[in-house]
Amino acid sequence: MWILSVKIRSFSERGYILELKDIKQLVEENAPEGKITKVDVEGPKIVLYTDDIGFFIDNNDKVRKLATILKKRIIMRPNAEGILEPEKARKIVREIIPEDANITGIDFDEDFREIYIEAEKLGLVIGKRGATLDEVTKKIGWIPRLLRKSPIVSETIKGTRRILFESSSERQKILRSVGRRIYRKPDAECDWIRVMHLGGAKEVGRSSILLQTPESNVLMDCGINVAASGSDRYPDFRASKIAIDKLDAVIVSHAHLDHCGFVPYLYKYGYEGPVYCTEPTRDLMTLLQLDAVEIGEKEGRELPYSSKEVRATIKHTITLDYGEVADITPDMRLTLYNAGHILGSSIIHLHIGEGLHNLVYTGDIKFGDTRLLEAANFEFPRVETLIMEGTYGGRYDIQSRRRDSENELIQSIEETIKKKGKILIPVFSIGRSQEVMMVLENYSRYEELDIPIYIDGMIWEATAIHTSYPEYLKGNIRKRIFNGQNPFLMDNFERVKSKERHSIIESDEPCVILATSGMMTGGPSVEYFKNLAGNPNNTLIFVGYQAEGSLGRRLQNGLRELAIEKNGRMSNLKVNMGVKTIDGFSGHADRRQLLGYSKKITPKPKRALIVHCESKKCMNLAMTLHEMFGFEASAPQNLDAIRIV
Ligand SMILES: [Zn+2]
Ligand SMILES: [Zn+2]
């Protein structure tokens, strides 16, 4: 087997707290004699150096055995003498791997002694039971890392990889110091645990929860409230008196700015620790943070950080797969699970102390059918405390059934096409846009949909990130991407450059336009709207959340005339186009789904804390959970500190 890296995946494999010196001793006692020359840590991973990488390829069970004993993720690394010069290695790779694999890039990371092979057909790079890759590794000494060539190139992913690549030595230093901190000698026994809400309690926005034990300080999410002003925009670090440089770790549930928009700020004020999240979250988060920096500068509402701190965040990010267990402090072990909300979104599970307590924080979840993602995970090894979002947890928050919403969308589109009108759908760049794209793609497979679907704004880039991580998408979409039938590449989808907008607006042909921003607070959706609003044959369709005060919400509420600026002059705009809201596409669980989730979650938690919703809704949902399931349930407010053990 070619795998020289063993992940710890099952709960029973979780180990006890180990210090670096214990780890070294265990390796010494259990490794094949003379084969390991050095033991190090990089973040939660244990790195074993060897002069004989070939031995471990042929005896992969020895690596597995060590991983089982240490109960940690292990990576094997050759010593510097054991690797070929890059040019020679490159030649050998080209010779051994069949041409049909279509290798599109080979790069070498000297510090980590890894070779990155990017190819279209990874199966051919790996070979039967890994034989091809084994042969390559034995000959060149470098550890292979495989990258799938994405059918749509993402500039963000290219940028992230470049930053990681160029800062490789610095990143290795960061990982080593993080690792030393994780496997430090604990000062105190874990006999109490408390959570403090720094933001996002009884409100939607700036989600941030501080989790503390006598030994550790960990932050779950660190968002901003885009709609708020002043100090209400950010989590309240000052009032909570938390020294930012004393934090052990930051965990980001997903890429929406209300969960990660304030993370770069931490690096401006002394934080040097890691950010844990999934790989797609890292890339989507980078895309949104850089966009927020740019918009802030343009609109004179600068964020308290710049692109420099976004880069620092990338360098400090440690990505985890769903289900992979990682030690993050001497008394906390982290596992991320699918949350079903957007690409890469995670439910955070923390095992705290030696079997003392288990906490599940849902982040934002969807517990229902969507085209793009599987529903949220609800089975955990153990749960005592559940912190759950309640965005649509109010008594009357019942969304239409998915199928009905899809039919309604298709019907509106067909009616508008008959009138030779245009359909404008304002969407958030991540999540709703790809979901609507998949609905239209699915429809076009059975019925003729003979019109262009224009994709404008950041949507295309977000879509490129989606297609780069097919393993995070729903099974059938994943399979189609692997088989070269990428549904995001349907002929009808046309990417729009800003200078082409005019000709789309002027054209007589009917079309669908997906454009940002989702709440019509700016961007191409507003530009299209100004030009399409006058014609009664056109239709505006809302598929996502419209915040109080946004143009989207005002139009939803019946606004039919407004003053706009056009070509530098103010004028009156009459809204003659049809305006519709279809609510079944939300990425959030509605009331019914939240109750369903609380019923199904296994094992049953003892306590539930409801966050991420308006005050009344939080309290009502908490009360209902207590009545229905007997949870000790409450709706904390910001700066409440709750002792859970
Ligand atoms: Zn979200
Ligand atoms: Zn959120």
pLDDT tens string 254-279? 999 999 999 999 999 999 999 999 99
Q: What is the distance in A from the centroid of ligand 2 to the CA of 339? A: 12
Q: What is the distance in A from the centroid of ligand 1 to the CA of 225? A: 12
CA angle in degrees (0–180, nearest 5) for 118-119-121: 145
Ligand nearest to the CA of 223: 2
Beta bridge partner(s), residue 630? none
In a domain, 170, yes or no: no
Q: What is the distance in A from the centroid of ligand 1 to the CA of 145? A: 31
Q: What is the distance in A from the centroid of ligand 2 to the CA of 539? A: 29
Ligand nearest to the CA of 255: 1
In a domain, 413, yes or no: yes
The single-letter code of the amino acid at 35 is: K
Q: What is the distance in A from the centroid of ligand 2 to the CA of 187? A: 35
**Residue 2: predicted pLDDT:** 42
Residue 10 banded pLDDT, cuts 50, 70, 90: very low
When pLDDT is averaged across residues 350-362 and rounded to a whole number, the result is: 94
Q: What is the distance in A from the centroid of ligand 1 to the CA of 362? A: 11
Identify the weakest region by mean pLDDT among 3-12, 14-23, 201-210, 344-353. Answer: 3-12
Same domain, 566 and 615: no
Ligand nearest to the CA of 199: 2
The three-class DSSP label of residue 39 is strand
**Residue 9: predicted pLDDT:** 47
Q: What is the distance in A from the centroid of ligand 2 to the CA of 166? A: 33
- Quickly tell me which residue has 């059975």 as its tokens: 446
pLDDT tens string 444-458? 988 888 899 999 989
When pLDDT is averaged across residues 358-364 and rounded to a whole number, the result is: 98
Q: What is the distance in A from the centroid of ligand 1 to the CA of 32? A: 48
**Residue 465: predicted pLDDT:** 96
In a domain, 292, yes or no: yes
Tell me: pLDDT of 5 over 80.
no
Which string of DSSP letters, residue by residue, matches 319-340? E--BT-EEEEETTEEEEEEE-S
Q: What is the distance in A from the centroid of ligand 2 to the CA of 600? A: 22
When pLDDT is averaged across residues 294-302 and rounded to a whole number, the result is: 86
In a domain, 370, yes or no: yes
Q: What is the distance in A from the centroid of ligand 1 to the CA of 257? A: 8
Q: What is the distance in A from the centroid of ligand 2 to the CA of 613? A: 9
Could you tell me which residue, 231 or 310, shows the higher pLDDT? 310
Q: What is the distance in A from the centroid of ligand 2 to the CA of 332? A: 24
Beta bridge partner(s), residue 494? 454
Q: What is the distance in A from the centroid of ligand 1 to the CA of 345? A: 8
**Residue 392: predicted pLDDT:** 94
Same domain, 135 and 235: no
CATH label of the domain that carries residue 360: 3.60.15.10
**Residue 226: predicted pLDDT:** 82
Smallest Cα–Cα separation from 540: which of 523, 563, 562, 518? 518
Tell me: pLDDT of 48 over 80.
yes
Other CB atoms closer than 10 Å to residue 469's CB: what's the count? 22
Q: What is the distance in A from the centroid of ligand 2 to the CA of 533? A: 31
**Residue 301: predicted pLDDT:** 82
Identify the weakest region by mean pLDDT among 120-129, 461-470, 484-493, 565-574. Answer: 565-574
Kindly state the helix (H) or strand (E) to which residue 79 belongs, with its residue range.
Answer: none
Q: What is the distance in A from the centroid of ligand 2 to the CA of 259? A: 6
User: CA 167 from chain center: how many Å?
Assistant: 23
**Residue 573: predicted pLDDT:** 95
Same domain, 277 and 385: yes
Q: What is the distance in A from the centroid of ligand 2 to the CA of 113? A: 39
Smallest Cα–Cα separation from 628: which of 603, 594, 577? 594
Ligand nearest to the CA of 200: 2
- Total count of domains within the chain: 4
When pLDDT is averaged across residues 26-34 and rounded to a whole number, the result is: 92
Residue 469 banded pLDDT, cuts 50, 70, 90: very high
Q: What is the distance in A from the centroid of ligand 1 to the CA of 604? A: 25
Q: What is the distance in A from the centroid of ligand 2 to the CA of 109? A: 36
In a domain, 427, yes or no: yes
In a domain, 160, yes or no: no
**Residue 625: predicted pLDDT:** 97
- Quickly tell me which residue has 């019946």 as its tokens: 558
pLDDT tens string 120-157? 999 999 999 999 999 999 999 999 999 988 889 999 99
Q: Please check whether residue 44 is in contact with residue 73, taking contact to mean a CB–CB distance below 8 angstroms.
A: yes
Q: Which of 533, 561, 581 is the last residue of a domain?
A: 581
Ligand nearest to the CA of 339: 1
Ligand nearest to the CA of 204: 2
When pLDDT is averaged across residues 176-203 and rounded to a whole number, the result is: 95
> How far is it, in rounded angstroms, from Cα 575 to Cα 562?
8
User: CA 37 from chain center: how many Å?
Assistant: 37
The single-letter code of the amino acid at 209 is: I
Tell me: pLDDT of 3 over 70.
no
* Alpha helix (H) residue ranges in 97-189: 122-126, 131-140, 155-166, 168-182
In a domain, 172, yes or no: no
Domain that holds residue 391: 184-396+588-643
Q: What is the distance in A from the centroid of ligand 2 to the CA of 262? A: 13
Same domain, 264 and 332: yes
Same domain, 66 and 124: no
Q: What is the distance in A from the centroid of ligand 1 to the CA of 252? A: 11
Tell me: pLDDT of 509 over 80.
yes
Q: Which of 26, 47, 81 is the last residue of a domain?
A: 81
Q: Which of 532, 554, 581 is the last residue of a domain?
A: 581
Q: What is the distance in A from the centroid of ligand 2 to the CA of 286? A: 17
CATH label of the domain that carries residue 479: 3.40.50.10890
Same domain, 238 and 136: no
CATH label of the domain that carries residue 97: 3.30.300.20
Same domain, 235 and 323: yes
Residue 16 banded pLDDT, cuts 50, 70, 90: low
Token pair listed for 35 = 């084969």
Same domain, 90 and 77: no
Residue 6 banded pLDDT, cuts 50, 70, 90: low
Q: What is the distance in A from the centroid of ligand 2 to the CA of 257? A: 8
**Residue 27: predicted pLDDT:** 94
User: CA 116 from chain center: how many Å?
Assistant: 23
Same domain, 436 and 542: yes
Same domain, 546 and 483: yes
Same domain, 541 and 637: no
The three-class DSSP label of residue 275 is strand
Backbone φ and ψ of 332, nearest 5°: -135, 135
Q: Please check whether residue 592 is in contact with residue 400, taking contact to mean a CB–CB distance below 8 angstroms.
A: no
Same domain, 613 and 551: no
Q: What is the distance in A from the centroid of ligand 2 to the CA of 246? A: 26
In a domain, 378, yes or no: yes
The three-class DSSP label of residue 76 is strand
Biggest alpha carbon distance in the chain? 83
pLDDT tens string 623-642? 999 999 999 999 999 999 99
> How far is it, in rounded angstroms, from Cα 431 to Cα 341?
8
Residue 228 banded pLDDT, cuts 50, 70, 90: confident
> How far is it, in rounded angstroms, from Cα 80 to Cα 89?
14
CATH label of the domain that carries residue 10: 3.30.300.230
Beta strand spans in 339-392 (E) = 346-352, 357-361, 385-389
Ligand nearest to the CA of 342: 1
Which residues lie closer than 8 Å to 547 by C-beta, 6 or more apart?
Answer: 227, 519, 553
> Which is it for strands 143-148 and 114-119: parallel, antiparallel or unpaired?
parallel
pLDDT tens string 311-336? 999 999 999 999 999 999 999 999 99
Which string of DSSP letters, residue by residue, matches 394-435? STT--PPPHHHHHHHHHHHHHHHHHTT-EEEEE--TTTHHHH
